[in-house]
């Protein structure tokens, strides 16, 4: 009888241990899930979303200082209940020093009634632009310089921190779409470049908004860019069909200069697009952005708007994607010349430090 009781006790202890283990696993799972949701990646806005910002009913957001230490050194944006990460996107307007959040909410009065929490001195302005009557808004924050953002999503708020990119990246390129076809290239370029941590890309614009030459020159200087690339089309004789690349023939750069950069971009883009390589040409003097550049610069034209053949290609996503791939290939090949990597070798930590200081 005593043996039977002992067995029953042992079985109950085993079951208790099993249930305890299961409960612990579930609890840790919930804990890790909640921790993970604090740093959910907010997606970048599409060009369709950025084009939707045409509201004339904008108003200044109320900004309150942090209380009790919460939110110090960050930007804290309240959210309506039920607004999840898939209802939020962002855009960085590097040339204009602006950070935009697109939020699909339900209450049009939410940001009239709720303040933004921040003590950041780099924020020089904050505006809410309603996109419709259902609560969809664009929150626009003006900054005093070039910054990159890091977002953290909580249960009822977004926390944004800003950091200066200077000195962080070894390979930096500024890409400037000069027309509508150039803008069509940007999503394809981003899709490739966002997965390459060895190169940092700043885009002068990702929507129809115009940017000034002064803004672009400031972006090139603030980002410490190594390369500047214009992308778009040319307007020339109808028989000219294919890829042509323009360069600054007035400013001489030793070693890897404008002509070598333009030639690399031309070859890579024409090859990827299976298009005619029309050759290199000096950029017109009225292209101030390239004429004033003191880093290797080029304008890659992926076709001629007056060519029936090229005009047909502009409507083909496959052609635009292939051109984008070629442009990326050209940028990567150029950086391989400027900053060649050591392949087939694994230096120790000390050697790596030495190499890094050379």
**Is the residue at 23 inside a domain?**
no
Sheet of strand 243-247, all strands in order from the earlier edge strand to the far edge: 200-203, 172-177, 227-234, 297-304, 243-247, 277-282
The domain boundary, picked from 133, 163, 193, lies at 163
The torsion angles phi and psi of 286, rounded to 5 degrees, stand at -80, 0
Number of domains in the chain: 2
- Residue 231 belongs to a domain with what CATH number? 3.40.630.40
Do 180 and 298 sit in the same domain of this protein?
yes
**Is the residue at 324 inside a domain?**
yes
- Rounded to an integer, what distance in angstroms lies between the CA atom of residue 238 and that of residue 112? 54
The pLDDT score that the predictor gives to residue 301 is 98
**Is the residue at 26 inside a domain?**
no
Q: Which residues contact 60 (CB under 8 A, 6 or more apart)?
A: 125, 126, 127, 128
Do 293 and 178 sit in the same domain of this protein?
yes
**Is the residue at 64 inside a domain?**
yes
Do 108 and 224 sit in the same domain of this protein?
no
The domain boundary, picked from 128, 163, 198, lies at 163
The pLDDT score that the predictor gives to residue 134 is 82
Do 134 and 223 sit in the same domain of this protein?
no
**Is the residue at 308 inside a domain?**
yes
The pLDDT score that the predictor gives to residue 342 is 43
**Is the residue at 264 inside a domain?**
yes
Q: What is the pLDDT along the chain (358 residues), one digit of tens a residue?
A: 444 545 545 555 555 555 555 544 444 443 443 333 344 456 666 655 555 555 568 999 999 999 876 778 999 999 999 898 889 999 999 999 999 999 999 998 999 999 999 999 999 999 999 987 788 999 999 999 999 888 888 888 999 999 887 667 889 999 999 999 999 999 999 999 988 889 999 999 998 888 999 999 999 999 999 999 999 999 999 999 999 999 999 888 888 999 999 999 999 999 999 999 999 999 999 999 999 999 999 999 999 999 999 999 999 999 999 999 999 999 999 999 998 874 444 444 333 433 444 3
Structural domain boundaries enclosing 259: 172-338
The Cβ of residue 194 has, within 10 Å, a number of other Cβ atoms equal to: 10
- Rounded to an integer, what distance in angstroms lies between the CA atom of residue 296 and that of residue 306? 29
Residue 161: strand pairing partners = 150
The pLDDT score that the predictor gives to residue 153 is 87
The domain boundary, picked from 136, 163, 190, lies at 163
Three-state DSSP state, 321? helix
Instruction: Produce one character per residue of 101-113: b if its CB has 16 or more CB atoms within 10 Å, e if not.
Output: bbbbbeeeebbee
37: which 2 tokens?
């949701």
Do 153 and 184 sit in the same domain of this protein?
no
The pLDDT score that the predictor gives to residue 51 is 57
Do 282 and 192 sit in the same domain of this protein?
yes
The pLDDT score that the predictor gives to residue 286 is 93
Residue among 303, 294, 264 nearest 280 (CA): 264
Do 69 and 205 sit in the same domain of this protein?
no
The torsion angles phi and psi of 138, rounded to 5 degrees, stand at -120, 120
Do 185 and 326 sit in the same domain of this protein?
yes
């Amino acid at each position: 009888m005593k043996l039977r009781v002992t067995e029953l006790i042992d079985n109950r202890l085993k079951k208790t241990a099993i249930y305890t283990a299961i409960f612990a696993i579930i609890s840790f799972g919930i804990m890790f899930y909640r921790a993970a949701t604090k740093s959910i990646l907010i997606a970048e806005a599409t060009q369709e979303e950025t084009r939707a910002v045409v509201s004339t009913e904008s108003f200044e957001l109320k900004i309150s200082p942090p209380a009790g230490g919460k939110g110090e050194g960050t930007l804290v944006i309240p959210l309506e209940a039920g607004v999840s990460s898939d209802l939020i996107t962002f855009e960085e307007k590097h040339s204009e020093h602006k950070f935009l959040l697109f939020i699909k909410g339900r209450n049009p009065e939410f940001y009239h009634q709720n303040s933004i929490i921040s003590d950041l001195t780099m924020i020089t302005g904050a505006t809410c632009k309603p996109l419709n009557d259902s609560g969809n808004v664009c929150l626009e924050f003006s900054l005093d310089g070039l910054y990159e953002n890091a977002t953290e999503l909580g249960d009822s708020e977004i926390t944004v921190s800003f950091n200066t990119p200077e000195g962080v990246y070894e390979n930096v390129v500024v890409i400037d779409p000069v027309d509508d076809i150039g803008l069509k290239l940007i999503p394809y370029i981003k899709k490739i470049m966002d997965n390459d941590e060895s190169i940092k890309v700043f885009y002068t614009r990702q929507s129809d908004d115009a940017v000034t030459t002064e803004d672009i020159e400031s972006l090139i200087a603030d980002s410490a860019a190594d390369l500047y690339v214009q992308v778009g089309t040319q307007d020339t004789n109808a028989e000219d069909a294919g890829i042509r690349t323009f360069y600054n023939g007035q400013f001489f750069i030793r070693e890897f200069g404008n002509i070598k950069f333009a030639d690399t971009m031309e070859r890579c883009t024409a090859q990827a697009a299976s298009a005619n390589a029309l050759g290199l040409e000096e950029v017109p003097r009225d292209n101030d952005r390239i004429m004033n550049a003191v880093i290797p610069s080029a304008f890659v034209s992926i076709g001629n708007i007056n060519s029936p053949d090229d005009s047909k290609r502009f409507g083909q996503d496959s052609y635009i994607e292939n051109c984008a791939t070629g442009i990326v290939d050209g940028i990567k090949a150029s950086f391989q010349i400027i900053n060649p990597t050591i392949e087939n070798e694994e230096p120790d930590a000390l050697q790596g430090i030495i190499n890094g200081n050379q």
